[in-house]
Amino acid sequence: GAVVSQHPSWVICKSGTSVKIECRSLDFQATTMFWYRQFPKQSLMLMATSNEGSKATYEQGVEKDKFLINHASLTLSTLTVTSAHPEDSSFYICSAGDRRGITDTQYFGPGTRLTVL
């Protein structure tokens, strides 16, 4: 099956610092990658959609200058949380789209738990 990895799996940082999260599709090429955020006991919230080689499309209410997304290759997308604050503490999950014919399936990475002190 399709495997997506994320790194790091858990990060604790001080308020005001920046944190980079990597998302890799290990055994397939992902033309599209998605970034989600999930707060405890809440459902997934799509933050942005990134296509390889182009700018990410952000969902309404998501600050593009705070959450920088780069999708430089078909197997790697990065999310950088700039000047993180405690309210940014959350579970960040990426997924990669595996396009087979006319259908798309999203495969999720294991997630990155961010704690901002």
Partner 1 sequence: QKEVEQNSGPLSVPEGAIASLNCTYSDRGSQSFFWYRQYSGKSPELIMSIYSNGDKEDGRFTAQLNKASQYVSLLIRDSQPSDSATYLCAVISLDYGQNFVFGPGTRLSVLP
Query: Which parts of this chain interact with partner 1 (CB under 8 A)?
Result: 34, 43-44, 46, 49, 91, 93, 103-111
Are 71 and 56 within 8 A, CB to CB?
yes
Strand 57-58 vs strand 76-81: parallel, antiparallel, or unpaired? unpaired
| Minimum CB–partner distance for residue 47 and partner 1 (Å) | 13
Q: What are 36's two structure tokens?
A: 């989600």
Closer residue to partner 1 in complex, CB, 79/93: 93
Closer residue to partner 1 in complex, CB, 29/83: 29
- Phi and psi torsions of 54, nearest 5°: -135, 170
Closer residue to partner 1 in complex, CB, 20/113: 113
